[in-house]
Amino acid sequence: MSGERNTGPASPRTELWVNHRSSARGGQILPGVPGEVAKVGVMALGRVHLSVTDARDLAEGALRGIGFDHDEARIVANHVIDAALCGYEYSGLAKILNIVDSEHFKLPRRPMKVLRETDVSIAFDGGNNVGMLSLFYAAEVTVKKAAAHGIALISVNDAWMSGRSAYYVETIANAGLVAIHTASSSRQVAPLGGARAMLGTNPLAIAVPSSRGPIVLDIGTSAYMMTDVMLRERLSELLPEGVAIGPDGKPTRDPTLARRGALLPFGGYKGFGLALMIQALGLLAGSGSEQESDYGYLFIAFRPDLLGIADVFSRQVTQLIDRIKATPRQAGIDEIRIPSERAFRSRERALREGLTFDRLVFDALVALRERRG
């Protein structure tokens, strides 16, 4: 990490790390003299460094400040902290600010309820709860039903902002199960060739157990994640080329125009086709509810021993990974990386070193925390 340490306290037990780059909002971080503290301009864009414990405390405090009870705050905080640990800053602590900004947050929420249940399935009404809560409970039920009956099919509708799909399938795979999860969401992505948003970002996540822990794939079907667009808008940063169109249907790098327009699907027809099918599965998730919503979530999980010996399968998955990793590499390639390998390494490192994120996000979370009382 570049930058000189700033010893000015932001809050008790908080360290500031100054990032020496110009702010997109017009302010600038001024490089400090070597060996001395860097001086920060009034509009400077700083970086805050917290221990994981302090970051979790801040997240839980902010969530309680906006009305979540102790257990709810813990569940959502655990989700966003894990996202931050895995290196996804846009899905980390900044996600809490997206909750407050959501139109769904302003509407009444209800307890989750069961719409339909069999031995191997449950259809839940999510009660307009934030998805990081509703899907946490749904993933718990998925594990219990699959463990008891060998397979589980769980759906949730009328929930929003579910966070990282990998978080749920990794949890399920840690119980020795194969997990598949789809999530359809609000209209943010244009179909291929379209000039208006008609599909969600619609991620697909799959996890399988191995003798060294789960192998996890989590892919969105849009060329860019809307959560990252929202963070870039918050920080006044531009989007990459070729990921969004504005309300006029023309390409844009402006995150505000992208939110008024649409993201594009990744991979042409392949990404569009996946997004369409996941949206259709979302309709199935909501088919038993009176609530109309683009949001629909499915979990499918099963025990490997339905098809073979579970321990043998875990060893075979590990051997498969070893073969892939040992593939001769092209020139200039240092390593063949398995899905989620980078995230798992980031998690291990951040658990030791702590989390660094934008000062604007930190200040906003402190303000939410102070709403209590």
**Residue range 192-248, pLDDT digits in tens:** 999 999 999 999 999 999 999 999 999 999 999 888 898 899 888 999 999 999 999
Residue where one domain finishes, among candidates 253, 288, 306: 306
Residue 196 lies in a domain: yes
Rounded CA-CA distance 146/203 in Å is 22
The residue type of 48 is: V
Of these ranges, 29-33, 226-230, 308-312, the one predicted with the greatest mean pLDDT is 308-312
- Confidence at 25, pLDDT banded by 50, 70, 90: very low
Entry pTM: 0.83
Is the per-residue pLDDT at 167 higher than 60?
yes
Same domain, 32 and 139: no
Do residue 23 and residue 90 come from a single domain?
yes
Residue 342 CA to residue 280 CA, distance in Å, equals 31
Return d(Cα 163, Cα 93) in angstroms, integer.
Answer: 11
pLDDT on residue 29: 26
Over range 64-83, report the average pLDDT: 98
CATH number of the domain residue 22 falls in = 1.10.1530.10
270 and 140 share one domain: yes
User: What is the average pLDDT across 91-99?
Assistant: 94
Does residue 311 form part of some domain? no
What number is the average pLDDT over the span 40-53?
69
For residue 31, pLDDT over 80 is answered with: no
Could you report the per-residue pLDDT of 151-166, keeping only the tens digit for each? 999 999 999 999 999 9
Torsion sign (Cα): 237, 242, 243, 244:
positive
Q: Give dist(CA 204, CA 187) in Å, integer.
A: 16
Instruction: Give the domain CATH number at 207.
Output: 3.30.1370.60
pLDDT exceeds 50 at position 365: yes
pLDDT, mean of residues 285-289 = 67
The pLDDT of residue 124 is 96
Contact 231, 90 (CB under 8 A): yes
- Residue 273, CA distances (Å) to 62, 135, 197, 262, 284 in order: 39, 25, 15, 17, 17
Same domain membership, residue 216 and residue 117: yes
Residue 357 falls inside a structural domain: yes
Q: Are residues 32 and 122 in the same domain?
A: no
Q: Which of 342, 356, 203 is nearest to 275 (CA)?
A: 203
Domain that holds residue 91: 5-105+349-369
Q: Which residue has the higher pLDDT, 31 or 287?
A: 287
Q: How many domains does the chain have?
A: 2
E runs forming strands in the chain: 5-6, 15-17, 47-50, 113-117, 121-130, 151-160, 178-184, 204-208, 215-219, 244-245, 262-263, 296-302, 355-358
Give the least confident one: 12-16, 90-94, 254-258.
Answer: 12-16
186/91 Cα distance (integer angstroms): 17
Q: Output the CA angle 91-26-39, nearest 5 degrees.
A: 90
